[in-house]
Structure 1
Amino acid sequence: MHNPDPVQEAPGYRPFWEVKPLTAMSHAEWESLCDGCGQCCLIKVEDEDTGGIYLTRLGCKLLDTTSCRCRDYPRRKKRVPDCISIGPDDISRLSWLPQTCAYRSLAEGRGLEWWHPLVSGDPETVHAAGISVRGWARSEKGVKPSAIARYIIGEAG
């Protein structure tokens, strides 16, 4: 349930994501933009011939497919060396991010959707709206590299 913040309810108040460019956000503000959908943690496959990037329904071994969050976020780069960190300077190069991603949305001049936890006040709305990988992604654990292509669900981005 959303508990209104008196500051946010004040006339003329505009949230940080509407007034600050991505590059001016604090670390805490940046991190809070993540809606917890888990889509960036899905395994991607690159077509060697075309360079196209395809999304699978396989989550990184650290992705909790119920919460759609990393099981070891602070140490993810050590445990998964090819984990992609997303920072303000990376956004223009990350066209594989889904259209629904807050980072991409703000970088493209769009706002946050109604289901984003910063807007709704509820981290469950991203799941209720069907944006997250909850219910359809599975872990890459136990999947042979030769079988990954079977899990492709479409082109990334």
Structure 2
Amino acid sequence: MSDVTPFWDAKPLEQLSPSEWEALCDGCGRCCLHKLRDPDDGALTYTGVACRLLDLELCRCTDYARRHARVPDCVRLTPEEVHQADWLPPTCAYRLRAEGKPLPWWHPLVSGDPESVHQAGISVRGRAISERVAGALEDHVASWPRRWPKGAKGAKPPPSEGRTRP
């Protein structure tokens, strides 16, 4: 067993290399959901409507390199933005690390499996629709992006996960 601390625990967000920064993304797609902000009180409401560039099966941007040119209001996530953003979902690895919390068991860096984020019910796969077909965002208000799915919180898998048979 190795005593080497993984980069995501060893470094603050500000010290991550570009490749480490990108690896921290769990691929859930929740940050790509449209959110509504009340102009009067600033309250934030999530929708189940995803950016038109999000592949709803893979939960990845279909044009990541040019996303800001194609979607001008796409946020360029930086360590500073992470520390200020109230719109990042509670399951977001960037938010968790900014808050000094560990990555959960389903994060691909921990599990070693990019499918674990989907298996844990964290991703938008099977839940979101594209803005291309959605119509009015107000018709698609959703509370699930604000919540942790049952059994998904924590740094270790639920007791029924990861057991071997005798």
TM-score with structure 2 setting the length? 0.84
Instruction: Pick the aligned partner of 2:60 from 46, 61, 69.
Output: 69
Q: What whole-Å deviation, never above 9, does each CA across 1:73-129 have from its counterpart, x for those lacking one?
A: 000000000001111121111121111100000000101000000000000000000
Q: What whole-Å deviation, never above 9, does each CA across 1:51-82 have from its counterpart, x for those lacking one?
A: 11111000000011100100000000000000
2:137 aligns with 148
Measure how far apart 1:155 and its partner are: 9.0
Distance in 1, matches of 2:22 and 2:10, equals: 16
1:127 aligns with 118
Instruction: Pick the aligned partner of 2:21 from 13, 30, 35.
Output: 30
Q: Evaluate the alpha carbon distance shift between residue 134 and residue 109 of structure 1 in structure 2; reply closer, same or farther with a 3 A threshold.
A: same
RMSD value, Cα: 1.4
Task: Determine whether 1:50 maps to 2:46.
Answer: no
Instruction: Say which SS state the counterpart of residue 143 (structure 2) adopts.
Output: strand
TM-score with structure 1 setting the length? 0.89
1:109 aligns with 100
Contact between 2:30 and 2:145, CA under 8 Å: does it hold in 1? no
Instruction: Pick the aligned partner of 2:31 from 20, 29, 40.
Output: 40
Q: Which amino acid aligns with 2:138?
A: A
Distance in 2, matches of 1:92 and 1:62, equals: 25
Instruction: Say which SS state the counterpart of residue 4 (structure 2) adopts.
Output: coil
Report 1:78-93 matches (<5 A).
78-93=69-84
Q: Which amino acid aligns with 1:150?
A: D
Gaps of 5+ in 2: 147-166
Q: Which amino acid aligns with 1:89?
A: E
Counting aligned pairs with the same residue, the percent is 53
Instruction: Say which SS state the counterpart of residue 13 (structure 1) adopts.
Output: coil
Task: State the structure with bigger RCO (CA 8 A, min sep 6), 1 or 2.
Answer: 1
Q: Show structure 1 runs of 4+ deviating over 6 A.
A: none
Measure how far apart 1:35 and its partner are: 0.1
Instruction: Say which SS state the counterpart of residue 35 (structure 2) adopts.
Output: strand
Distance in 1, matches of 2:95 and 2:132, equals: 28
Gaps of 5+ in 1: 1-8
Q: Which amino acid aligns with 1:129?
A: A
